[in-house]
Amino acid sequence: EVFLAADDASGELFAVKSASAACAAALRREQRVMAGLSSPRVVSCIGGRGAPDGSYQLFLEFAPGGSLADQMATGLDELAVRGYAADVAAGLAYLHGAGMVHGDVKARNVVIGADGRAKLADFGCSRKAGADVPIIGGTPAFMAPEVARGEEQSPAADVWALGCMVVEMATGRTPWSGMDGDALAALHRIGYT
């Protein structure tokens, strides 16, 4: 769950991503991943805190433009598609240069900052590039064929997902949209056809 909050002292707005005790470890991991990142094309992590009940809150930079998926709902022209794609590509170049893979690039995981530019968000599936531990998660319609087959997820898989996102921005439909209800069939089609 993500909600908006304000700093009592400064009045500055920020986003709060909250998880129950059962999911708190995932948010702590996401905070560790984000702590070392600093780029204008990546959402900033302000910090986090645990509660006595075991729940956890992650504090993130507020993006007043909402998600890229929200922007797509009103339709995007070619100039906007190019601009957002370039912003996400720059964010991925930074992330890959830092030895990381995002693992779940899609419009819902890209936010629009106060400057109108796109920023990568939601690092729940991120990891070090070349790590032997497979990522559990991601979105089937945006998975590269090698990821759908259960092979290594490299920076190239993020670039594939960016391409899928560009298709979605330009057409209003996700690639493989005919497979929406059947994730297993989508994974098979993407990975083996």
Catalytic positions are 104
- The 3 state secondary structure assigned to 146-191 is HHHCCCCCCHHHHHHHHHHHHHHHHHCCCCCHHHCCCHHHHHHHHH
> Strands 110-112, 2-6: parallel, antiparallel or unpaired by DSSP?
unpaired
Give the 3-state secondary structure of residue 16: strand
Return the exposure string of 144-159: e unless at least 16 CB atoms fall within 10 Å of the residue's CB, then b. bebbbeeeebbbebbb
Q: What are the C-alpha distances in Å from 153 to residues 40, 57, 127, 137, 176? A: 25, 28, 9, 11, 20
Instruction: Find where tokens 């700093």 sit.
Output: 7
110: phi then psi, degrees, rounded to nearest 5: -125, 130
